[in-house]
Structure 1
Amino acid sequence: MTDAATATNRSCDQNPISGLPLHDLAGFTHRWVDAEGIRLHAVEGGQPTGPAVVLLAGFPQTWWAWRAVMAGLAERFHVIAIDLPGQGHSDRPRDSYDTHTVASRVQAAVTALDVPKYWLVAHDIGAWVAFSLALKYEEHLHGVALLDAGIPGITLPDAIPTDPDLAWKTWHFAFHLVPDLPETLLAGRERDYVDWFLKVKALSPNTFDSAEIDHYAAAVAAEGGLRASLTYYRDAAESARRNHDALERQHLTVPVLGISSSHGSIPDMAASISRWADHATGVVIPQAGHFIPDEQPDAVVDALTAFIDHERVG
């Protein structure tokens, strides 16, 4: 770690989100680093000299979504899970949640942690950010893995389906875009909302226990977390515009692994991305819904390890 990052840790080495407990993970350390004027929370461990793997979670989760995957990857890799702006124990700025701005902040955090080049792995909204980051900062990436996510302006549908068999997977995109109404309806009811997402979108409704639901709901409810979560969707049009502008100049040139699941939202992540990526491959994780890292962590570790090993040899 650089002296600058160490100094930042010393000045930020307290939980910045009042009343939101920190979960510890054996072999990992909590850090807070400056990322273009805001503090981002990172959890770092594994092999300090191993290949670096950076993990980004999505809605309505935090870095904790990766805990089982982190333990598996730590045997060989230098592992860093980062809470995005507005997520978990990171700062919750009032605006600037388009994915290119967030990508710049994530890259600033990784740089502050003294990681010059890394493998980026991201799920859901984290994958939105990872796609934009790969367009902006390809020189810092060995490769990127995207898990079960449509990308703004790229693979998200232009219209929300009305067929009940499909609409339950995507209805919330339109709901989150409505100004003020979601906050009015959800404030004080964050746990009910998070509980629905986690139980319905996982293949098994028993994937998440009450403590996990409590943790994610508390993170959404704390200090502007709900507003921040919704703003990712409200800024999605700007994310799409900036993705389109970037893709007029270049495609993704780093290796891309699309990780789908047997019962997820995007049946073939690799196919959905391949038009904009020079080198995209895919894998489907069986017996999983949308929350693949929670539902099948060992399979995710195996897929990521195989991807990294193959690209390093190649």
Structure 2
Amino acid sequence: MLSIESGRTMDPITGSSSIPGVEHHRVSVNGTELHYISAGTAGSPVVLVHGFPETWWVFHKLIPLLSERHRVFAPDLRGFGDSATATTAHDSVTAAQDLSALITRLDVGPVHLTGQDISGPTTFRVAATRPDLVRSYAAIETGLPGFGVEKLADVAHGGAWHIGVLAAPGIPEMLLAGRERAFLAQYAIPSLCVTPDAFTDDDIDELARSYTRPDAFNGAAGLCPWATDPRRSRPRRAPAAAGAGTAPRSPGGPDRRWARAAGSPCRAP
């Protein structure tokens, strides 16, 4: 790896930023190619899943701390970062299948799964339908369609305008192409982050790099179709895994409404 600043490196394969102690991987699963990083050599496995407008890099300060006691994995979801781009048919069901296939391929047993922001419905779907893959589940600043998350796109009541823009076919490219860094630095991070100063210029450059690819917004658009299609905001049953009977425990205890919406009976172990 080539050093580009103190404590920060560059992965020669992807050209993305990296940090000491992290290994980069590419794996073909579910008809796509995912990029993920790994760190740590011992302890129970942790999988960190980013939101928008992010990649695995958003966890780069947390990974060294967790890897002292855990094996840590952080993927770029399909359509994000250095994973393959997504098509306009991409959705949360596909993303959950990708993630389930990746966890299976890791072959480290059930993982502590964390989903942030728009990856919440995807990671929850994994936890509810594949409890054999998940030791515990933590949801960070997220929600589910049909349980209030669509209010985030309701601009008439304080919602964010960019969610509808992302979900409208062709509109992100029309409005944001060539302006990706400005969108992140001047709008997304200052308005959506409580501590925007936590993002350095180099952090913003790394995030912006991945959004300059062709079709770079399809991944995010596929995870929030409920923003422009009210029918997507109704609770829908996800295909339950064969033999799934017990959802993994979350720090706050199992939420039965969410489990029923995802198609898995949820009860405390």
Where on the TM-score scale, by shorter chain, does this alignment land: which range?
A: 0.7 to 0.9
The counterpart of 1:244, out of the listed 227, 233, 236, is: 236
Q: Secondary structure of 2:202's partner?
A: helix
Which residue does the alignment assign to 2:47? Answer: 54
Q: 8 Å contact 2:104–2:133 — kept in the other structure?
A: no
Q: What is the Cα deviation at residue 279 of structure 1?
A: 6.4
Deviations 1:191-238 (A, max 9, x none): 111121112211233221211111111111123212333232237769
**Are residues 202 and 279 of structure 1, via their aligned partners in 2, closer, same or farther at CA, if it must alter by over 3 Å?**
farther
Deviations 1:252-274 (A, max 9, x none): 7211236xxxxxxxxxxx89x56
The counterpart of 1:24, out of the listed 18, 23, 30, is: 18
**Are residues 155 and 208 of structure 1, via their aligned partners in 2, closer, same or farther at CA, if it must alter by over 3 Å?**
same
**2:165, 2:246 → 1: CA distance?**
31
Q: What is the Cα deviation at residue 34 of structure 1?
A: 1.2
Q: Which letter maps to 1:210?
A: D
> Which stretches of structure 1, 4 residues or longer, exceed 6 Å deviation after superposition?
247-252
**1:98, 1:252 → 2: CA distance?**
25
Q: Which letter maps to 1:127?
A: G
**1:39, 1:243 → 2: CA distance?**
30
Q: Which letter maps to 2:169?
A: P
Which residue does the alignment assign to 1:228? Answer: 219
Q: What is the Cα deviation at residue 33 of structure 1?
A: 0.9
Q: 8 Å contact 2:172–2:217 — kept in the other structure?
A: no
**Are residues 96 and 136 of structure 1, via their aligned partners in 2, closer, same or farther at CA, if it must alter by over 3 Å?**
farther
Please say if 1:275 is aligned against 2:268: no
Q: 8 Å contact 1:199–1:208 — kept in the other structure?
A: no
Q: 8 Å contact 2:138–2:250 — kept in the other structure?
A: yes
**1:242, 1:112 → 2: CA distance?**
32
Q: Secondary structure of 1:257's partner?
A: coil
Unaligned stretches of 5+ in structure 1?
A: 1-12, 16-20, 259-269, 281-313
Please say if 1:175 is aligned against 2:169: no
Which residue does the alignment assign to 1:193? Answer: 183
Which residue does the alignment assign to 1:134? Answer: 127
Question: What percent identity do the matched residue pairs reach?
Answer: 28
Aligned counterparts, 1:52-201, within 5 A? 52-157=45-150, 160-163=154-157, 166-167=158-159, 170-195=160-185, 196-201=187-192
**2:72, 2:234 → 1: CA distance?**
29
Q: Which letter maps to 1:244?
A: R
Please say if 1:211 is aligned against 2:202: yes
Q: Secondary structure of 2:90's partner?
A: coil
**Are residues 69 and 186 of structure 1, via their aligned partners in 2, closer, same or farther at CA, if it must alter by over 3 Å?**
same
